[in-house]
Every structure is written in structure tokens, then in C-alpha cells.
Amino acid sequence: MLVMEEKIAQAAAVMRELDIDLWLTFVRESATLPDPAIDLVVGQHCTWQTAWILGAQGERLAVAGSLDVAAIKDRGLFTTIVPYVEGIGGVLREQLVKMNPRRMAINFSRDSVMADGLSHGMYLHLCDILADTGLVERFVSSEGIMAALRGRKTAAEVAAMQAAIDVTLEIYAAITEHIRPGVSEQALAAMILAEVQRRGLETAWDEAHCPAVFTGPEHAGAHFRPTERLVEAGHVVNMDFGVKVDGYCSDLQRTWYVRRPGETCAPAEVERGFTVIRDAIRKAAAALRPGAVAWEVDQAARAYIMEAGYPDFPHGLGHQVGRSAHDGGIGLFPRWERYGQLPYGKVEVGQVFTIEPRLPIEGYGVATVEEMVWVTEDGCHFLSSPQESLLLV
């Protein structure tokens, strides 16, 4: 509740900064089709059509079905609650006309999934409700508000994320002794999930592929579930994993090398691949500071890897993390069509990003490390303890 109060107060300041008078999050049956703003500034779901309205001057208004009113009052976040019985249209129209915003943000976005919770049907319904009021022409996307709220982490948010990171690194350390020839990706994942359950936590994303576990060359690739594939001597092993603590996520990757009989260290080509990844992360971190253009941070690592003779990696360098592992807003992305305008945004103080380049090591697997960093006034601070060398098993 404390974090949500902080975020609601922050929202008013952000709206004034963006010259937006009102922010309307318009939803129905939101437990079934949740809007990303719900877990940030609302904290509850309603059954009937509901308008959650925050204002630049601190207004907190909910227009809600009469049967949902008691729960909203009990929650205590919205100070004015206007009920309806037969339909929301007339009541909502009256409230918005009275408030008469010059610019009104609604919950849609072309580029950010974290600001795009308004269904097309609900958009059409809202347009019908406000027909002939002149307010439809004043709609703007809530993307800027959501990007700022999710990106500018409070001290309480960073503390929760730090706790999630610390747990993740503890579990990675514990799993190292179980990585050996003959154990499957699925078995390693099951051990990690058992530890998550023992600690009473939940994974940062879908358990079907959190953790993701990959061993050796020709594995299934990123964003795929662990398989029955067995670890072998001479394999590079990667894991991608995170947990939630107090609703906030970690998202980290680590790389191991499984030594062959008689090896005391990894082969030179494996060491070189890992070292290039490590140094690419360092270069990105050096470029990541307030005011930096997001794609230029991506390019600092991407160009270094390609100049070292490795192929371009097929994803962005990093994304924001918070209540979701992929928390929306700008990312450290290349200027590709799939990322829309997000690569052109500027880095702000308070944002938490991953840095996660990768490269193939022919015959062995993939070198990839993912760290989490927090943008501060003078650059960025590593929240995770960086992996500086290959983990040997």
C-alpha cells in the first residue's frame, strides 16, 4: 500500500510535467483482462465497467458499479467514488464534462504493452459516451505517464528488487554444485523451482520457462522451456531466472562451463567468448547515464561484440524491470521496427535495466550474462554482483 500511495502522488507530478490534466484507466472485468496500471496505482479489480481517474492536482476519482463501491472504499486509495447501477455512460460523461480536462490520457499505446490495456471495444464505448462533448479530441496516450511511474523507482521499490536479486544469486550459487554431465535441463529447472517454493516465493515470469536452462550447442534457444537435453562435458550452460519479492522482480542470467576430464579451465575460445560478453556489459554500463539515448547504449555493446568477430545478437540489449520482468517504457533497444519509438527515448534517473548481450561459441553453446543496473545521477549502479568470470564445474 505504501508503494502505491507513493506512485499515485508521483502520478500527479508526472501529469503536471507532461501537461496532462487527467489520467483515465477504463476497464471492465479487470481480473480477467487486467490493465497494467491496476497493480501500480489501483490495487484491486472490479467486475463492472470502472473508470479510475487521477488528476494532476491530486484528484482521485472512481466511477464504479454500485456492488464494487464497498471494496473501493475499504481499499482507501480513491477519495471520491461515484456509483452507478444501470450503466456507467451518463455518470462518467457528467463527471468528465464537469472536470473539463484540456488533455486527458487514456490507457492505450502503440509501442508500450505496459500502457496498452484499453481494449478496442472499450475505446469505442468511451468514444460513444463522450460523443459531442469535445473530449474525445483531447485524448492522448497514457504511455508517458506509465513509463515514468514504472521507470522512476522509489527507494522502497529498489529495496524490494535488491532483495529479489540477492535471492536469485543465492539460488544460482546453490545450483552450481548440481550441474554435471548426465543431468537434464528439466532436472536443473526442477531443483530451482523447489528452492523457490521452499522460500515461499514465486518466479518472476511463467514457471514453464522460468528458469530457462540451456546446455551445449544446438539447444532450443531463448524463450523456450527446459528440455530433456542432458548436460555433457564440454558444454556451456546458461540459465535465465528471476523471482518476485514484495511484488518486484529480478531477471538475471549466468553462464557455466562443464570441464572435460583433465581440463583445469575452459578452452580458449570459450574464455574469449565469455570475456567479450563481460566487456560488452562494461561498455554498455559506461554509456548508461541520465540523458543517454537508449539505442546508443545498445550500440555500445552491439558494436563491440561484432567488432570482435561475432554475429549480431537478435534482441535488444536490455529492458526495464520492476513489477514485471519486462516492465515497459524505453529499452536499450536497436532501431528495429519491432521496437517502435522505444529506442529513441532518453534514460532517466531511477530506471532499472537489464544488460544482457549474447554470442555463440561454435561447438560449445552460447555465452550470455544478464545483469541488473540502477540509473543514478552520475551513471549506473550494479544491483547484481557482476559475473566477472566463467563459472567452472
Using H for helix, E for strand and C for coil, what is the string for 139-190? EEECHHHHHHHHHCCCHHHHHHHHHHHHHHHHHHHHHHHHCCCCCEHHHHHH
Residue 118, all three cell numbers: 484499453
- The four Cα atoms 297, 298, 301, 307 give a dihedral, to 10 degrees, of -120
pLDDT at 133: 98
- Enumerate the CATH 3.90.230.10 domain ranges in the chain, comma separated: 152-392
Three-state secondary-structure class, residue 318: strand
Angle between helices 155-175 and 185-198 (to 10 degrees): 130
Domain at 2-150, CATH homologous superfamily:
Creatinase/prolidase N-terminal domain (3.40.350.10)
Three-state secondary-structure class, residue 337: helix
| pLDDT tens-place string over residues 277-293 | 999 999 999 999 999 99
| pLDDT tens-place string over residues 89-138 | 999 999 999 999 999 999 999 988 999 999 999 999 999 999 999 999 99
Task: Kindly tell me if the per-residue pLDDT of 368 is higher than 70.
Answer: yes
pLDDT at 219: 66
Task: Kindly tell me if the per-residue pLDDT of 218 is higher than 80.
Answer: no
pLDDT at 221: 66
Give the other-Cβ count within 10 Å of 84's Cβ: 19
- Enumerate the CATH 3.40.350.10 domain ranges in the chain, comma separated: 2-150
Task: Kindly tell me if the per-residue pLDDT of 1 is higher than 90.
Answer: no
- Record: fold of 152-392: Creatine Amidinohydrolase (3.90.230)
pLDDT at 216: 95
Residue 177, all three cell numbers: 554444485
- Closest C-alpha among 334, 283, 340, 295 to residue 312: 334
CA max distance for the chain? 80
| pLDDT tens-place string over residues 8-38 | 999 999 999 999 999 999 999 999 999 999 9
Spatial contact of 348 and 377, defined as CB atoms under 8 Å apart:
no
Q: Grid coordinates 483482462 are at which residue?
A: 33
